[in-house]
Amino acid sequence: MSKQTLLTYYQTNQFNPVPIEIGDDRTWRNHFTRRRNLYENHLGIPLALLRDKSVLEFGCNSGENALVLAAMGANLTLVEPNEQVWPRLHQLFDTFKLKDRIINLFPQDINTFESDNIFDLVLAEGFIHTLENRDQALSRLLSYLAPGGIGIISFDDRFGSLLECIRQLLLFRVLELQGISDPHCDKSRQYAEQLFGQDYARLHTSRPFESWWKDNLVNPFFSAEVLWSYREILEVITQSGGEFLSSSPKWFTGDHYTWYKQVCDPVKRHHVLLQNWEKVFTYMLTGLLPEKEPTPLSPEILACITHFIEQISQYVHTRQVGVEELVYPEPLEVYLEQSSDLQIQYLNLEMKTLIGNIIRTTLKDELINAYHETSILKLLWGCPYHYISFTKSS
């Protein structure tokens, strides 16, 4: 039997992971405005400059994002191995009268696609981090960039996903207590709604709850192995002759307040970026604004969070770890305790109580109520999903 991948997960379950609603003028304008904000204000790519430029998008799904680029006059080469979403893609480009902007649509994946062409913009959103050979896939992506071209990837960040992993743990503990072995069943979705439905609704995201449940909470590909980090990604980008341009969320301030004549080489700039990342680390973990005087971060703290997330994943996906073996990591506790932000101190206490104690209850309602009674944890989502744009040297 061949190994399951994110792609086969979508195909077997026959679901569109990002069903973006753009059926009428209002929803289309909404979508367009958000994507423009992402490209222009976060990732540093003015859309008007894409007119007649060549774009290669891997994993375009049913093409809602590609449509924005087509509407700005870009010429698209699309690579989407899940042919189940092709009919909607064709129908959308037909409806928007933008079919002639698709130069090619290929059924290959990022590893098997071959082309002699190079492109001005190359994108791979929402899947590259899940691939076993993701470093190689990212290098391949960079190899398709024209000199001076721009690449975009998105990924689930290891540290930004801590709170999402804790949510996953809560749901799977409820399922365990209820004797439910299939996380994809209807009951599982109902428990997920009971636990997180209200908090999710407060996010006002266009993504339906059901898609989040399927694509994050119970997706076997939302696990420790697929989580990535800026440090690992920058290493590949540097090795492949690329340089960080920007990100979303946009947190790097290392270039701010510097004179443009003060040029930094890419390696040094990446180093400054990672130092900056350490300073905004509690923002990554919690989504709360960075502290003015952050507590220094140590490799020990990063290692203990990584290990904790691995333990959660093993509990959730393989049951190789039992709930009694889960321990709230002490170095993390000590680190967050020193925060000058009272919300972070409170969050720390709530996570400690939940993981150190309540998660072991045998009463599902006690667990659900304990989560509902948290005052900070239930309001925070961390920073799980990041975009990075990068350039290739000319």
Ligand X SMILES: C[S@@+](CC[C@H](N)C(=O)[O-])C[C@H]1O[C@@H](n2cnc3c(N)ncnc32)[C@H](O)[C@@H]1O
Q: Is the CB of 219 or the CB of 339 nearer to ligand X?
A: 219
Tell me how far apart the alpha carbons of residues 193 and 199 are, in angstroms, rounded to a whole number: 9
Q: Is the CB of 207 or the CB of 279 nearer to ligand X?
A: 207
Residue 157 region by backbone torsions, left for phi larger than 0, else alpha for psi between -120 and 50, else beta? beta
Tell me how far apart the alpha carbons of residues 101 and 99 are, in angstroms, rounded to a whole number: 5
Under the binding rule (CB under 6 A), the answer on residue 144 touching ligand X is: no
Contact string (CB under 6 A) for ligand X, positions 322-341, x = contact: --------------------
Long-range contacts of 19-22 (CB under 8 A, 24+ apart): 19/62, 19/208, 19/211, 20/64, 20/65, 20/206, 21/206, 22/64, 22/67, 22/92
Please give the residues from 18 up to 47 whose contact with ligand X meets the rule CB under 6 A. 18
Cβ 317 vs Cβ 220: under 8 Å: yes
Amino acid sitting at position 41? N
Tell me how far apart the alpha carbons of residues 351 and 380 are, in angstroms, rounded to a whole number: 12
Q: Is the CB of 214 or the CB of 392 nearer to ligand X?
A: 214
Within 13 Å, how many C-alpha atoms sit on residue 299's CB side?
Answer: 1
Cβ at position 351, least distance to ligand X in Å = 28
Q: Is the CB of 91 or the CB of 320 nearer to ligand X?
A: 91
Which of 28, 43, 54, 59 is the binder for ligand X (CB under 6 A)? 59
Cβ at position 154, least distance to ligand X in Å = 6
Q: Is the CB of 2 or the CB of 394 nearer to ligand X?
A: 2
The region of 90-98, 126-134, 337-345, 354-362 touching ligand X under the rule CB under 6 A is 126-134
Tell me how far apart the alpha carbons of residues 121 and 329 are, in angstroms, rounded to a whole number: 42
Under the binding rule (CB under 6 A), the answer on residue 284 touching ligand X is: no
Under the binding rule (CB under 6 A), the answer on residue 183 touching ligand X is: no
Q: Is the CB of 129 or the CB of 167 nearer to ligand X?
A: 129
Tell me the two tokens of residue 331. 């170095």
Q: Is the CB of 282 or the CB of 389 nearer to ligand X?
A: 389
3 state DSSP class of 244: strand
Within 13 Å, how many C-alpha atoms sit on residue 26's CB side?
Answer: 1
Which of 74, 131, 284, 351 is the binder for ligand X (CB under 6 A)? 131
Amino acid sitting at position 267? V
Residue corresponding to tokens 């540290």 = 159
Cβ at position 29, least distance to ligand X in Å = 18
Beta partners for 137? none
Cβ at position 272, least distance to ligand X in Å = 29
Contact string (CB under 6 A) for ligand X, positions 4-23, x = contact: --xx--x------xx-----
Q: Is the CB of 131 or the CB of 358 nearer to ligand X?
A: 131
Q: Is the CB of 6 or the CB of 174 nearer to ligand X?
A: 6
Cβ at position 290, least distance to ligand X in Å = 27
Contact string (CB under 6 A) for ligand X, positions 103-122, x = contact: ------xx------------
The region of 55-63, 142-150, 246-254, 275-283 touching ligand X under the rule CB under 6 A is 55-63
Burial (CB count within 10 angstroms: exposed 0-12, middle 13-18, buried 19+), residue 11: middle
Cβ at position 281, least distance to ligand X in Å = 26
Strand-strand pairing, 102-106 and 119-124? unpaired
Cis peptide before 19 (omega within 30 of 0): no
Size (the chain), residues:
394
Nearest residue relative to ligand X (C-beta): 59
Cβ at position 61, least distance to ligand X in Å = 3
Tell me the two tokens of residue 160. 């930004």
Residues 6+ apart with CB under 8 A from 186: none
Please give the residues from 225 up to 264 whose contact with ligand X meets the rule CB under 6 A. none
Which of 39, 58, 277, 315 is the binder for ligand X (CB under 6 A)? 58
The C-alpha angle with vertex 314 and arms to 19 and 323, in degrees rounded to 5, equals: 110
Tell me the two tokens of residue 349. 């206490």
Under the binding rule (CB under 6 A), the answer on residue 126 touching ligand X is: yes
Please give the residues from 62 up to 91 whose contact with ligand X meets the rule CB under 6 A. 65, 79-82
Residues that bind ligand X in the complex, under the rule CB under 6 A: 6-7, 10, 17-18, 58-61, 65, 79-82, 109-110, 125-127, 131
